[in-house]
Every structure is written in C-alpha cells, then in structure tokens.
Amino acid sequence: MSEYLKLVATTLLFGGCLIAPAFPADIVLLPRNAGPEKNESYPGVTVLYDAIRDASGHRLRIIATHPDNGNHQARYPVIFVVGWLSCDTIEAPPGTRDGTQRMLQSMAQIPGFATVRLEKPGVGDSEGDCAKTDFATELAAYQRAFRHLEDYPFADPARIFLFGMSNGGGFAPLVAKGAPVKGYVVDGGWIKTWFEHMLEIERRRLVLSGHASSEINALMKSEERLYSAYLLNRSSPHDIFAAQPRLKLFWKGAEDQQYGRPIAYYQQLQDLDLMNTWSSVRVPVLALHGEYDWIMSRSDFELLVDLVNHNVPGAAELVELPHTGHTFEHYASLQDSFEGKQLPFDETVAQRVTRWLMSHRQ
C-alpha cells in the first residue's frame, strides 16, 4: 500500500471530509474549530483538512482539494493560494455569498486541478495570534506550506500555479523562493513601495469619503508627514503622535496596529523590492484588477506586466474586471465598493480565471 493510501486509510472522517496528518512520519493533527456544517464539500472532489507547523511550533491549517476519481497515482496541476493582508479566513463554507470565498470555491472545482490554501496564524483553526504576527513570520509560513506540496502525491511539481490576492498578489513570487512555477494569477496586488501605495490609497479614501477637491492636497500633506515618519523613518505611531498630535486624526485604531496587524508588518512590507522580484519572473502571468478596486492601483499591475513581458514578450496580460472590487466582489459603482455594498457574485469572473488556468495547464 502506498504512503498516501496508508494515510487515507488511517484518516479520521469528519463531516464527510478528511482530517489528515501532514506527514506520515511526523503527524501534525489539528482539530477543527468549525462544526461539520462549515466543512467544504464539492462533487467529485476530495477536501483534505491538513496541518503543518511554523517556525514557532504553531499548528497551521492547510485546506487542500484534489479530484476524487479513484486514481491514486494521478498527479494534478496545483493552485497554491497566497492570501491577503487581513486576518480573515481562507475557508469558503457552504452557502457563502462573499466574492472572495466564491472564487475559492470555484477554483476547488476546476476540472483536473488541485488547490492548496494556508490559514495564517491565529485565524480559523490555526494556532497563534494574527494580530501580533509580522510579515516575515507570515511569509515564512507560506514558504513552509509551499514546500509541503512535495509531500502530496496528487501534486504535480512541474505544474504549480501561484494565485495571489491583494497583498499576496504583490509578494507571491517570494513564496516559491526561486523554485520553478508554471504561472501566476494575481489580483488586486501591488509592486511599488508600500509608502507609495499608502499615499495612493489615502488619496482615494479622502475623495470617496466626501472631502471637497479643494481640501485634498492640504490633507495629503498631513498624510505624507505621517507615513514618512512611520514607514521611511520607522517611528512608532505612539512617538509620532506624541510629537505631532494632529496626525492622529489620520490614523484609525490602536497605536500599535493598523488594519489589525502589528506595526512591524508594514515596516517590513516597506523593505520589500517587489519590482526587482517581478523582474525575474519568466512564466505566464494573468494580472487582474477590478474596475472598482479603490484599495490597489491599476498602475502597479501595468508595471508588473511590462516587467514580465520584457523578459518573455506576451507572457503577461492585464485584465480589468468590470464592476469588480478589490478581491472579486461585485459592485454597481466605485462608491458602493468603498461602502461595501456587494451585489451577487459575478460567475463570469471565475470563468475568466478558469479559462486561463485550463489553457496553461500543459
């Protein structure tokens, strides 16, 4: 009996899905926090709730899917998901209406493909504390999960696609650490410096919040002072506000966090040189930008596509998704996107991604 069959034979069935150890020789069991009704299930697909340990010893949830056709010798192209910045789950439970989760469900059902997702520390079943996890730690966890693909007998190492969303759409090539990949699908990402990104998003936020045009540039000067001190000079928000109290008006939340992540997370993002990273990519890339994405700038992906096409003409393409927000949500307008007024998921967006992946699978 193969190691994989032994693994399946000794697996605990939980709500119709497999709860499996990560390594037959080094079992990593991680209980499910969600009830059986939250387990993903798709016709003709095996859903595997696996786990790995990060460098700190935390058990991190992996959700893997692969075709359930009875052929345990078959190897499939793999879509490895590189997620967003926030501490939101990568699970896609039955009945969800969220655009991002609907896209994850769609990918799990692409004929002949496997998928692998990592739940970051402190989210879902994973141990740890997402609010205290910096970027370097998060990236190292993704890299461990990527290396773990070699332990899956259903994964074809010559056909691995990285699917990056939001923050992951920028740093996805760092996950592979130079290992060969078949291609990239990236959505709503970034490639310039994080400082530039923050100035661009803050300008859009001020406009969409209703500030008069005559006010915007004056307000942006305060934003520039704040982010120069925070990201370029690496001062803590606490020290910045002590010296310049007015700048606190431009900050939301606690002084030791932003968007639910620690200050070090963003200062480490500022250290990245993603233009240099993407300048080494020589495989096909589908870069997606939502028409109503107010969070990330289309110009970042224009740069990304130019860099890849400079290496291999025609390898990368940029697609603007109509009526689409930051990560596959469907909206009637840019203002509705800013206010989070989602419409039902647009299946044509998932179909566009599926066609690209199917056309590059060989």
DSSP state, residue 96? -
> What does the pLDDT look like over 161-188, one tens digit per residue?
999 999 999 999 999 998 999 999 999 9
- For residues 79 and 161, give the distance between their C-alpha atoms in angstroms, rounded to a whole number: 5
- For residues 219 and 233, give the distance between their C-alpha atoms in angstroms, rounded to a whole number: 20
What DSSP letter does each residue of 150-211 carry, written as one string? Answer: GG-TTEEEEEEEEEEETHHHHHHHHHHTT---SEEEEES---S-HHHHHHHHHHHHHHHTT-
What's the farthest any 2 CA atoms get from each other in the chain? 73
Confidence of residue 26 (pLDDT cuts 50, 70, 90): low
Confidence of residue 70 (pLDDT cuts 50, 70, 90): confident
pLDDT value at 2 more than 80? no
- For residues 289 and 297, give the distance between their C-alpha atoms in angstroms, rounded to a whole number: 8
> What does the pLDDT look like over 298-343, one tens digit per residue?
999 999 999 999 999 999 999 999 999 999 999 999 999 999 999 9
Residue in the structure block whose two tokens are 């493909």: 113
Architecture of domain 3-192+281-359 in CATH? 3-Layer(aba) Sandwich (3.40)
Mean pLDDT of 12-24: 46
pLDDT value at 347 more than 60? yes
Locate the domains of the chain by residue range. 3-192+281-359, 194-271
Confidence of residue 18 (pLDDT cuts 50, 70, 90): low
pTM over 0.75: yes
Residue 295 is encoded by which pair of tokens? 């969070």
